[in-house]
Structure 1
Amino acid sequence: MSVMCGYCNQPAALVRGPAVYPHRPDLRGLQFHICRPCGAWIGCERGTTNPLGTLANAELRRARMDAHAAFDPSWKGNKRRRGERYAWLAERLGIPRAACHIGHFDLAMCRRVVDVCLIDAVRGVH
């Protein structure tokens, strides 16, 4: 599978954890796709070379982490509820459930995730 960078249109290289996280021995066995020319990267599903989303630069990685931080507490620890919450999020974002994957979101969509989750929290809806 060839992964292309959406920033510079160059092919990404498949690397092991130390290439991305040299200070994290717990990630040594994981694989990542990295665009060497621009530094964008994405992790792979455990035990595969399948990317978890699209390549992301530092700004987009931070936005995706913020989106997960806002959204994940609503389902963490309850796998059954996870699907329900992703369906809720997709509805709130006005996108199909199949397209609701934070690893594929751009900056604007990540910010929308944070906003809808904050509104949900303020309203006390869980």
Structure 2
Amino acid sequence: MKHKEKPQILKCPYCGRTAVLRKASDIYEKALDEYLYVCSGYPECNSYVGVHSGTFRSKGTLANGDLRHKRIEAHRIFDSIWKHKIMTKQNAYRWMQDIFSLTTDQAHIGLFSEYRCDCLILECRKVLENNHITFV
């Protein structure tokens, strides 16, 4: 990875420790050429977040297992809206911004709480049902 930027300084929202940049393969136990910000209290504190490829920019906030799974679920159903061509990807993000009164910077599932993920999942289900698409 070629970087001119410095790693971010992120604090764990669960235990307050500083996150450290680690290879994803240290956590996932498979050969991945990706990085994560991992709570320095890992594995006792199981919070981490992915990093955008080729950068030190986090994909959101550190999350424990429950929140990571909720964000994955929210992303899957949200992405199905534009993948089924109900809206373009850009319009789907604008729709998300509108229903939650978010700025462009705030409209990232990687920043969402479990509650906001649940709300997004509910709204996405409505859109899919209105378009006669069943999401499993």
Report the TM range for the smaller structure's normalisation. 0.7 to 0.9
Partners of 1:32 and 1:77 in 2: CA distance? 31
Q: For residue 41 of structure 1, what is the aligned residue in structure 2?
A: 48
Quote how far apart the aligned CAs of 1:90 are: 1.4
Contact 2:81 2:128 in 1 (8 A): no
Contact 1:75 1:81 in 2 (8 A): yes
Q: Percent identity?
A: 27
> Which of 23, 31, 34 does residue 30 from structure 1 map onto?
34
> Which of 115, 118, 121 does residue 114 from structure 1 map onto?
121
Quote how far apart the aligned CAs of 1:89 are: 1.3
Alignment map for 1:42-61 (pairs within 5 Å): 42-61=49-68
Aligned length: 122
Partners of 1:53 and 1:2 in 2: CA distance? 13
Alignment-mate amino acid for residue 37 of structure 2: H
User: Going by fraction, where is helix more abundant, 1 or 2?
Assistant: 1
1:99-118 deviations in whole A, cap 9, x for unaligned? 11000000000001100000
TM-score (norm 1): 0.88
Contact 2:49 2:62 in 1 (8 A): yes
TM-score (norm 2): 0.82
Structure 2: state its 5+ residue gaps. Answer: 1-7
Alignment-mate amino acid for residue 107 of structure 2: C
Contact 1:15 1:32 in 2 (8 A): yes
Contact 2:35 2:51 in 1 (8 A): yes
Alignment map for 1:99-110 (pairs within 5 Å): 99-110=106-117
Contact 2:9 2:19 in 1 (8 A): yes
